[in-house]
Structure 1
Amino acid sequence: MAALNGGEMCVKYLVFVFNFIFWIAGSVVLAVGIWLRLDPKTKSLFEGENLPYFFYTGVYILIAAGSLMMVVGFFGCCGAIQESPFMLGLFFFFLLVIFVAEVAAGIWGFSNQTKVIEDITTFYKQTYKSYNETKQDALKETLRLIQRGLNCCGPSRDPPGHTEETCPKKEGLDVLITKSCPDAIDEIFSSKLHIIGGVGIGIGMIMVFGMIFSLMLCCAIQKTREIV
């Protein structure tokens, strides 16, 4: 059996480094998903009757995506180090599935942009109304995260009144120019959509290079095993 040459060894370690970073990223995504699911401030959101569909679906998607990324990274690292065509083939297959899912999600997101904005706005308004009626800590924390994350306050431009404790703190004249959360949601999806799309394209290109390098390495390993 012949050994890999210099260029092929570079590809081997590029595949390993790529997958190690991919595995770490998956660990972070999984940790965030589990934290959101188990944290006392958000845990009760999963236990009520009127569950926030958008929120808990997103949390479970994070957990599933993080787990899949860790599995893909594991197969890629092991396949590169052990020079295993089988593991590299599994890595290529899983990465292809993730890539196709990302493309499908991107197409769906762009074609349903208005529906997504409406759903998020409806979720915010329902959370706002439910908190005013029940004063649940989980709902308060959800409002706080949304309003501080978007730098907004309340469902309208009117003064927020008794929900002011969940709004971002402002001083001076900034208090007079508070943005409503429906306006902030619409703005971030309308003005930042090209940035989200650019990030998605960048991640997709990285995946394509990962698949190309894994195929190159797999072919090189097969070729060395055919040489006696």
Structure 2
Amino acid sequence: MAGVNVCIKCSMFIFNFVFWLCGTIILSVAISIRAGKIGQEILTPGDANLRPFIAVNMLIFVGAVIMILSFLGCCGAMKENQFMMILFFIGLLMILLLQVAAGILATTSKFKTEQALNKTLLINTRFLSSTNENERVFQNAFSELQEKLKCCGLVNGASDWGSNFQHYYKTCECPSNQIPCTKYSGKTIYKQSCFALFSHMFSKHLFIVIALAFGLAAIEVLGLIFSIVLYCQMRKK
């Protein structure tokens, strides 16, 4: 009877090691985003139906599952265990299908998400100009955020603060050596709104996520091929 090809076994081991690294990177990046506060002050206090961290939570789950699957694939390949290889193949196929479903869902729900985001921004912009004491917590948190990100206001710039600008203008102040700056109510402030800056950061991260998703999908297809070939050779052994 033919034995299991050593080259296929080694390829399977290398694949799973790379796959495990991908899972580790996805998990660590997702946890760091989830634990971070940038963007939460902008989005969270508004529409409760808008949950900006659902995708991040899904990435945490996917990263953890990938790490488990890669360990299963390594053990199955090295020990030539057919049951482990079947579990690895099914699990990997489910992850791939989940990615495709998530991509389709993201595409179809884009318009609805944009509507919810615009609604949230409108509500939170009103929070900045509100004189109600209940909104002070949000205003203080946002004031710290704009100082950290070197921006001013949420959507329209300093005018979003309304009469509260005189109270929070110090976190908007733009040093003379910083650009771009602008003038507002006699103060030199950051020209860029925080949401514009946040959108730019989000677009950059989104591009990285899409690139990783395509790369990961290619690796997963390769893993499916390796696992089914290895399983067939185990059956013939």
Whether 1:87 and 2:84 are equivalent positions in the alignment is yes
Task: Report if the CA contact (8 A) 1:33-1:60 is conserved.
Answer: yes
What's the CA shift string for 1:96-124, capped at 9, x where partnerless? 11111111111121222232333345455
| Shift, 1:55, TM fit | 3.8
Task: Report if the CA contact (8 A) 2:157-2:192 is conserved.
Answer: no
**Residue in 1 that maps onto 2:99:** 102
Moved more, 24-33 or 8-17: 24-33
SS in structure 1 at match of 2:153? coil
Distance in structure 2 (CA, Å) of the matches to 1:218 and 1:167: 64
Distance in structure 2 (CA, Å) of the matches to 1:70 and 1:167: 46
| Shift, 1:59, TM fit | 4.3
- Summarize the alignment of residues 196-207 of structure 1 with structure 2, pairs less than 5 Å apart: 197-207=210-220
Whether 1:212 and 2:212 are equivalent positions in the alignment is no
Whether 1:3 and 2:3 are equivalent positions in the alignment is yes
TM-score, length-scaled by structure 1: 0.68
| Shift, 1:10, TM fit | 1.9
Task: Report if the CA contact (8 A) 1:157-1:180 is conserved.
Answer: yes
Task: Report if the CA contact (8 A) 2:180-2:192 is conserved.
Answer: no
**Residue in 2 that maps onto 1:66:** 63
Q: 1:175 to 1:204 in 2, by over 3 A?
A: same
- Summarize the alignment of residues 162-173 of structure 1 with structure 2, pairs less than 5 Å apart: 162=168, 165=171, 171-173=177-179
- Summarize the alignment of residues 62-211 of structure 1 with structure 2, pairs less than 5 Å apart: 62-123=59-120, 133-135=135-137, 139-140=141-142, 143=145, 148=149, 153-159=152-158, 161=165, 162=168, 165=171, 171-176=177-182, 178-183=191-196, 197-211=210-224
What is the CA RMSD across the aligned residues, in angstroms? 4.4
| Shift, 1:217, TM fit | 1.1
Greater Cα radius of gyration, structure 1 or 2: 2
Q: 1:66 to 1:11 in 2, by over 3 A?
A: same
Calculate percent identity across the aligned residue pairs: 30
TM-score, length-scaled by structure 2: 0.66
Task: Report if the CA contact (8 A) 1:85-1:218 is conserved.
Answer: yes
Q: 1:33 to 1:202 in 2, by over 3 A?
A: closer
Q: 1:186 to 1:102 in 2, by over 3 A?
A: same
**Residue in 2 that maps onto 1:14:** 11
Task: Report if the CA contact (8 A) 1:23-1:70 is conserved.
Answer: yes
Task: Report if the CA contact (8 A) 2:82-2:234 is conserved.
Answer: yes
Q: Which amino acid aligns with 2:3?
A: A
| Shift, 1:32, TM fit | 4.7
Q: Runs of 5+ in structure 1 lacking a partner? A: none
Q: Which amino acid aligns with 1:220?
A: Q
| Shift, 1:79, TM fit | 0.9
Task: Report if the CA contact (8 A) 2:2-2:233 is conserved.
Answer: no
Higher helix proportion (structure 1 or 2):
1
